[in-house]
């Protein structure tokens, strides 16, 4: 009797263990599959592109294809892929994240040269979003360092996208103040001391600024600023600073995964398709700047093409920029040291 009960309980545990194991063992059918691991605000863009690509793929005689999308914070997504998330292609917010996957040994060196335009099929830039009528008269970076101006930006430590914000401010300081690193640090430091809420991600910052009414100016990616303008017509205005930076969300084929799964050809075609004129027009509709200059011209009404932009090479590439500005004890940390 007593024994029986023990056996019963053990059997129950065993069944549960099998349940746990069984859940993972599902096999895909005969259709082809492709996984695109991307970052947050690109879900609808890729939903539309996937339909486009799948249709084209099947029309040219390819087997039926399903594309699985994955979206999350760019840095977290890079960690996932490095740790075994089977992505055929990654389409992340910044090169540094793809470099991390490269370092983990999943992507071959030199991926940045394999596709046109530094492997960035669409770009964006950093702009300011201010409240209607621009009550604080915010026109350029020095206005953000003024006393009494409340600034909202995500934290460059936790948000990859926000590192572009920081670098854009830095680029301005470098160009206009002429001084050395110290002068730049003071200037950017003054801006960050005006920061009221240092959210962990870009979306959080937008919520703080829009939904919760915090601050006078939001430093944001142009595509997110335009999305906000569209969702709240007439309530906000976009201001372009005199100097900004070219944000390049990078894409790459994950070599180890495509070689293992035999999907290299398809994955490459998928990324190359992002540069096709039709797709370039599609990304413009989602407020990203097409990297094809001719198509960008077609959208000259939507984008302010006069913004002067520096780029990451100005900072010696992401490897150096990351180390110098955002590593522990780097420039960003020094700004806050007391």
Distance of CA 119 to the CA centre of its chain: 14
Q: Which is nearer to other proteins, 90 or 295 (CB)?
A: 90
Minimum Å distance from CB 116 to other proteins?
27
Name the DSSP letter for residue 161. Answer: H
Strand positions, DSSP E, 63-134: 65-72, 89-91, 122-131
- 123 is an interface residue for other proteins by CB under 8 A: no
Encoded one letter per residue, x for contact with other proteins by CB under 8 A and - for no contact, window 283-312 reads ------------------------------
Q: Pick out residues in 184-243 that bind other proteins (CB under 8 A).
A: 195-204, 206-208, 211-214, 224, 227-228, 231
> Which one, 70 or 302, has the nearer CB to other proteins?
70
For position 51 contacting other proteins by CB under 8 A, the verdict is no
Find the angle CA(136)-CA(225)-CA(201) to the nearest 5 degrees: 100
- Interatomic CA distance for residues 200 and 155, integer angstroms: 5
CA angle at residue 247 from 270 to 129, to 5 degrees? 120
Q: Return d(Cα 3, Cα 143) in angstroms, integer.
A: 78
Instruction: Check binding of 134 to other proteins (CB under 8 A).
Output: no
Task: Assess 336 for contact with other proteins (CB under 8 A).
Answer: yes
**Measured from the CB of residue 235, what is the shortest distance to other proteins in angstroms?**
14
Alpha carbons 278 and 282: distance in angstroms, whole number: 6
Minimum CB distance to other proteins, residue 24 (Å): 5
Minimum distance from residue 214 beta carbon to other proteins (Å)? 7
- Residue 72 interacts with other proteins (CB under 8 A)? yes
Interior angle at CA 38, CA 87 and CA 32, nearest 5: 40
Q: How many residues bind other proteins (CB under 8 A)?
A: 75
User: Closer CB to other proteins, residue 16 or residue 300?
Assistant: 16
Asked if 121 touches other proteins (CB under 8 A), the answer is no
Q: How far is the CB of 158 from other proteins (least distance, A)?
A: 5
Residue 13 interacts with other proteins (CB under 8 A): yes or no: yes
Instruction: Please identify, among the stretches 108-116, 154-162, 171-179, 297-305, the one whose residues bind other proteins according to the rule CB under 8 A.
Output: 154-162
Question: Strand 217-221 and strand 151-154: pairing?
Answer: parallel
SS3 109: coil
CB 125 within 8 A of CB 306: no
- Give the Cβ contact number of residue 281 at 10 Å: 14
Judged by beta carbon, residue 5 or residue 30, the one nearer other proteins is 5
């Amino acid at each position: 009797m007593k024994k029986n009960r023990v056996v019963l309980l053990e059997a129950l545990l065993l069944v549960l263990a099998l349940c746990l194991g069984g859940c993972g063992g599902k096999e895909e059918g005969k259709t082809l599959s492709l996984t695109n691991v991307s970052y947050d605000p690109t879900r609808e863009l890729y939903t539309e592109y996937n339909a486009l690509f799948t249709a084209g793929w099947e029309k040219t005689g390819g087997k039926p294809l399903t594309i699985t999308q994955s979206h999350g914070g760019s840095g977290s997504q890079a960690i996932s892929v490095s740790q075994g998330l089977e992505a055929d292609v990654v389409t992340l917010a910044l090169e540094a994240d793809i470099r991390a996957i490269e370092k983990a040994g999943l992507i071959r060196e030199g991926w940045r040269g394999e596709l046109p335009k530094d492997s960035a099929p669409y770009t964006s830039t950093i702009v300011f979003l201010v409240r209607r009528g621009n009550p604080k008269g915010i026109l350029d970076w020095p206005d953000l360092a003024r006393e009494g101006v409340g600034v909202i930006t995500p934290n460059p430590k936790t948000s990859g996208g926000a590192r572009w914000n920081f670098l854009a401010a830095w680029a301005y300081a470098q160009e206009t103040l002429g001084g050395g690193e110290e002068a730049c640090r003071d200037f950017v430091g003054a801006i960050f001391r005006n920061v009221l809420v240092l959210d962990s991600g870009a979306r959080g910052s937008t919520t703080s600024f829009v939904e919760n009414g915090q601050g006078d100016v939001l430093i944001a990616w142009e595509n997110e600023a335009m999305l906000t303008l569209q969702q709240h017509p007439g309530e906000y205005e976009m201001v372009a600073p005199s100097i900004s930076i070219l944000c390049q969300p990078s894409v790459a084929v994950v070599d180890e995964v495509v070689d293992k799964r035999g999907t290299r050809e398809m994955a490459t075609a998928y990324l190359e398709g992002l540069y096709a004129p039709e797709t370039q027009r599609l990304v413009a509709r989602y407020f990203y700047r097409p990297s094809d200059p001719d198509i960008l011209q077609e959208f000259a009404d939507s984008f302010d093409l006069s913004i002067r932009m520096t780029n990451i090479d100005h900072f010696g590439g992401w490897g150096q920029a990351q180390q110098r500005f955002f590593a522990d004890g780097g420039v960003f940390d020094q700004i806050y040291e007391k």
